[in-house]
Amino acid sequence: MHRRTRCLALALTGALLTGGAVTAVAAPSAAAPATAASPALPAPAVTGGLRTGFELSGGAAWTTLEEEQRFLAALDESSERLTVTELTRTAQGRPVQLVTVGATADPAAIARGSSVLFSCTQHGDEPSGREACLSLARDLAATTDPATLDLLRRTTVLLVPTVNPDGVAADTRENSLGLDINRDHLLLETEEGRALAALIRDLRPDVVHDLHEYGPTPGTYDRDLIALWPRNRNVDERVHDLSVVLTEDAVLPAVAATGNSTGIYGYRYDPDGNVYAQRAGDGQERILRNTTGLKHSLGILVEASNAPADALEEQNPALLNQRRVSTQLTAARATLGLVAERRAEIADATAASAARSAAVRTPVAFAGADNELPDPDEVDLAPPCGYRLDAGQAAATADVLALHGLRTEPAGDGGVVVPTAQEGRDLVHLLLDERAQYGLTVGAAVPCA
């Protein structure tokens, strides 16, 4: 669908919302037919019930924080399959809330079963993901669609609609302390990052879908929605490969099938649709999509374009806002559709990844990405079997290690040893080794017996 034609279609159906160089490869087609590994869950017609502030305005205004609180409270009150809980409070006292939709809200049962986590609005000036998560929570709570009901019987859907409420209030990327939450999933210096770490540790989601927005560059970096998987070289192969399937075979085709253009996050495209450079999307372990993979979950970063596609969207910003949200919703439903179809395969891959980390000693890469080889001195082919922390280091790092679910062992004089033979093996190296790029502290290497 031509972009102008697509915008005219949105105008007619707007009531639905109110009620480094790399080798050139073929780009995902903007007009490709749906070739998703599984069908996306259907988009329900909104004909009654609760509305977000965004929906009530026809896309002219974003849902306020106060409207969000009323909306979530009403959802919690009206639905037996949905529960709203508070994860933490920000530096300015605003709540970060978790919406749980499914057959159970018991944390132990969720951790044992299948679950998907949607992380929304880590950056406070990227509102479309937040709107999509609020609408998706309502749609899942109210659905009568048999396929969706079957999904919810087997898989728990977890949504954090507003990870960064202080940033939303100020319309800033960072939180109120000036910290980028999406660069804080390793050292956990933000209260918001700590809350997500505890959530992932306790509920063990099989998939983490992270919603963002970006400002396109016309001609080279200008797609309606772009996405990417965990690129960190230490991510388990099956977890990595299924994350690629989620991105390339499910999410991007589903969005393309709606007439929206798609691409890979960070790739620049020439006029023929070939990749000529990658300028974002590396393997650094402190970004959620990479941390997710290191914690044995499939991961996907999704970014919607925040710029007008044509004159219609320039003249009517509500049309632009509707598209931003609709592409996010389509991507989210595609993720749920893949989980519905390949739940057992995904669960097996994530469980096997965790088991191998605890049982197998493998090389560790301290740099590079899945498409970028690290230098030889950035890879340890025979890494240590643990790190000793003295009493001061142990006290200073105890809470971060615990939030990551990392086990320590007493080592005398108040110190501890952090063994690598545990599920968070790679995180241990990336937090405590002297070669780590974003290390927490430098521990003394414990050789293997």
pLDDT digits (tens, 9 = 90+) for 72-86: 999 999 999 999 999
With bands split at pLDDT 50, 70 and 90, how would you rate the model's confidence at 24?
very low
Q: Where are the beta strands (DSSP E) in 90-184?
A: 95-101, 114-120, 155-160
Residue 236's pLDDT is what?
98
Residue 19 reports pLDDT greater than 60: no
Which whole number is the average pLDDT over 347-376? 96
Residue 5 reports pLDDT greater than 70: no
Q: Tell me which residue has tokens 């929570």.
A: 137
Residue 148 lies in a domain: yes
Residues 307 and 414 in one domain: no
Residue 4's pLDDT is what?
31
* β-strand partners of 364: 380
Residues 58 and 201 in one domain: yes
Dist. CA 130–CA 378, nearest whole Å: 38
Mean pLDDT, the chain, as a whole number?
91
8 A C-beta contact, residue 367 and residue 231: no
Dist. CA 72–CA 69, nearest whole Å: 5
Residue 334's pLDDT is what?
98
Residue 11's pLDDT is what?
34
% of the chain exceeding 70 in pLDDT: 89
Residues 28 and 173 in one domain: yes
Residue 16 lies in a domain: yes
Residue 371 lies in a domain: no
Q: Return the minimum-mean-pLDDT range out of 6-20, 268-282, 347-361.
A: 6-20
Residue 374 lies in a domain: no
Residues 305 and 165 in one domain: yes
pLDDT digits (tens, 9 = 90+) for 87-120: 999 999 999 999 999 999 999 999 999 999 999 9
Which whole number is the average pLDDT over 9-38? 35
- Give the residue among 414, 383, 384, 413 at the shortest CA–CA distance from 397: 414
Residue 41's pLDDT is what?
67
Q: Return the minimum-mean-pLDDT range out of 52-56, 97-101, 260-264, 268-272.
A: 268-272
Side-chain-side CA neighbours of 214 within 13 Å: the count stands at 23
Among residues 315, 331, 353, the one where a domain terminates is 353
Which whole number is the average pLDDT over 344-369? 96
Among residues 353, 375, 410, the one where a domain terminates is 353
Residue 306 reports pLDDT greater than 50: yes
8 A C-beta contact, residue 112 and residue 93: no
Q: How many domains does the chain have?
A: 2
Phi, psi of 217 (to 5 degrees): -110, 110
Q: What is the CATH number of the domain that holds 280?
A: 3.40.630.10
Residues 159 and 257 in one domain: yes
8 A C-beta contact, residue 123 and residue 182: yes
Residue 44's pLDDT is what?
56
Residue 23 reports pLDDT greater than 50: no
Residue 378 lies in a domain: no
Residues 291 and 420 in one domain: no
Which whole number is the average pLDDT over 352-373? 96
Residues 391 and 265 in one domain: no
Number of neighbours of residue 257 by Cβ within 10 angstroms: 19
Residue 211 lies in a domain: yes
pLDDT digits (tens, 9 = 90+) for 422-436: 999 999 999 999 999
With bands split at pLDDT 50, 70 and 90, how would you rate the model's confidence at 49?
confident
Residue 363 lies in a domain: no
Residue 358 lies in a domain: no
How far separated are the first and last CA of the chain, in Å rounded? Answer: 63
With bands split at pLDDT 50, 70 and 90, how would you rate the model's confidence at 42?
low
Residues 81 and 175 in one domain: yes
Dist. CA 134–CA 140, nearest whole Å: 10
Residue 45 reports pLDDT greater than 60: no
Bridging pattern class, strands 364-365 and 298-305: unpaired
Residues 186 and 292 in one domain: yes
Side-chain-side CA neighbours of 27 within 13 Å: the count stands at 28
Dist. CA 132–CA 325, nearest whole Å: 6
Q: Which residues constitute the domain of residue 398?
A: 383-446
Among residues 353, 374, 397, the one where a domain terminates is 353
Q: Give the 3-state secondary structure percentages of the chain, helix then strand then coil, rounded to 5.
A: 40, 20, 40
C-alpha dihedral over 167, 171, 172, 175, to 10 degrees?
A: -10
Residue 286's pLDDT is what?
98
Which three-class secondary structure string do you get for 42-56?
CCCCCCCCCCCHHHH
Residues 117 and 242 in one domain: yes
Residues 330 and 281 in one domain: yes
Residues 339 and 401 in one domain: no
* Single-letter code of the amino acid located at 361: R
